[in-house]
Amino acid sequence: MTSAITLAAQARGYSKAAKELEESGQHERARQLYLKAAKLYNDAYASAGDEMDRNTQRDLAEHLFAKAQSLKSSSAKYSSGGLESSNGSDNRDESSLSKDDLILKEIPNIGFPDIGGLEDVKEEIRKAIIYPFTHKELYRMYGQKAGEGILLYGPPGCGKTMMAKAAAKECGAEFISVKTSSIVSKWVGASEKNIKQIFDTARQSERAIIFFDEIDSVAVRRSESEDYAKRVVNEMLAQMDGVDTAGDDLLVLAATNEPWSIDPALRRPGRFSKLVFIPEPDLEARAAIFDIQLKDRPIDDEVDVMALAGMTDSYSGADIASICREAADIPLGEALRGGEIRKIGMQDFATVIEKRKPSITSWYIGARKAIQKTGEEEVFGEIFSG
């Protein structure tokens, strides 16, 4: 099996060559190489053992993926003389993306045991996502439908994507991760076609979970959106209804920081009918996050992970990861300036935490104001009870 380091090195080579081709105006050839680089980074992501490396590889894959998409639009524009046909569509159908452009498939290696704390949330997800797959006959016997969508929502940086991956692993399903920015196209009909292709691809799998991250970017309220956005929502509604009636071994998950922005029709029974709130990590979860972030760093024996967890109440997982990086920067900076090389100590963490406030505080303030405008305080009660 090719190592993550080798895959990333190959990806860098393709990315460099693609950039040179792009600068010379060879957009189609550059796009193909950007896609190859993105796939290699995605493979490196799946192979990497270190969580930070995995996140880096995934970010690079998504960045190059978006780059290829932009060149796809550019190639379509130039190949048609920069003009669309009279009905607004592209005669050459250059607007549609390939399956590899739209979907990053993976077999998750993160399960619920890898996520500390949040036991109530895990049980909610088991009921909403896992049991419909693993106890399908029971669901049918009691007339309960499996196949409705589940919407994960909550503050940014609190593990919605990780929870979705863990659910996929727990029920043995292929995880089809869709970056919603890759769906939207300026060409008439292309965005709807992309959504249909995603569902068609998922139905070819024996058992699959489609995961739409940041779904609010493509499923906004139709009363507040332009015509093209309304057509995208209508296609999502049609596909979700199809999942409900087809009996496929397919579940649809989505994640958002702004659930109130999503068209209410998508949150009705039969579509995203189950809303699961993913809050900031509790004490046990924060301790687990510190353990993960610190396992490959030189830590002084005095460092108490549970004490650190107690000092970071209301901090997100992303906040804690940043705290660990900044704490490591203190002794690193000393060593670079010629000081004694030492391990990361408790005081380093205390210094960083004292200066850093929880990033999600402002999210709660903004979320409550936005929800009050929509009059849906009861729907998103967890946000007001925190």
Same domain, 74 and 1: yes
Residue at a domain's end among 94, 121, 140: 94
**Domain presence at residue 365:** no
Would you write out the chain's pLDDT as a tens digit for each of its 386 residues? 567 777 887 888 888 888 888 888 888 888 888 888 888 888 777 776 666 566 677 778 877 887 787 776 555 443 333 333 333 434 334 344 555 555 566 667 788 887 877 888 888 888 877 888 788 788 888 887 665 688 999 999 888 888 888 888 888 888 888 877 677 766 667 788 888 888 888 888 778 888 888 888 888 777 766 666 778 888 888 888 776 544 557 888 899 999 998 888 888 877 887 888 999 998 988 998 999 899 889 999 999 999 999 999 999 989 999 999 999 999 999 999 999 999 999 999 999 999 999 999 999 999 999 999 989 888 888 898 76
> Number of structural domains, the chain?
3
Residue at a domain's end among 221, 256, 280: 280
Same domain, 1 and 84: yes
**Domain presence at residue 194:** yes
Same domain, 73 and 116: no
**Domain presence at residue 366:** no
pLDDT at 222: 77
- CA 261, distance to chain mean position in Å, is 17
**Domain presence at residue 333:** yes
Same domain, 171 and 271: yes
pLDDT at 336: 94
Same domain, 15 and 123: no
Same domain, 135 and 266: yes
Same domain, 147 and 27: no
Same domain, 129 and 271: yes
Same domain, 262 and 291: no
DSSP secondary structure of 320-372: HHHHHHHHHHHHHHHHHTT-----B-HHHHHHHHHH---TTHHHHHHHHHHHH
Q: Which residues pair with 177 in a beta bridge?
A: 104, 211
CATH number at residue 117: 3.40.50.300
Same domain, 104 and 141: yes
pLDDT at 329: 96
Q: Print the domain residue range for 53.
A: 1-94
**Domain presence at residue 381:** no
**Domain presence at residue 376:** no
Q: What is this structure's pTM?
A: 0.69
Residue at a domain's end among 235, 258, 280: 280
pLDDT at 66: 76
Strand order across the beta sheet in which 250-256 lies: 103-106, 174-179, 208-213, 250-256, 149-153, 272-277
CATH number at residue 39: 1.20.58
Same domain, 21 and 136: no
Count of C-beta atoms within a 10 Å radius of residue 306: 12
Same domain, 252 and 318: no
Apex 57 CA angle, 52 and 59, nearest 5: 95
Q: Give the relative orientation of helices 283-294 and 317-336 as an angle to the nearest 10 degrees.
A: 40
CATH number at residue 288: 1.10.8.60
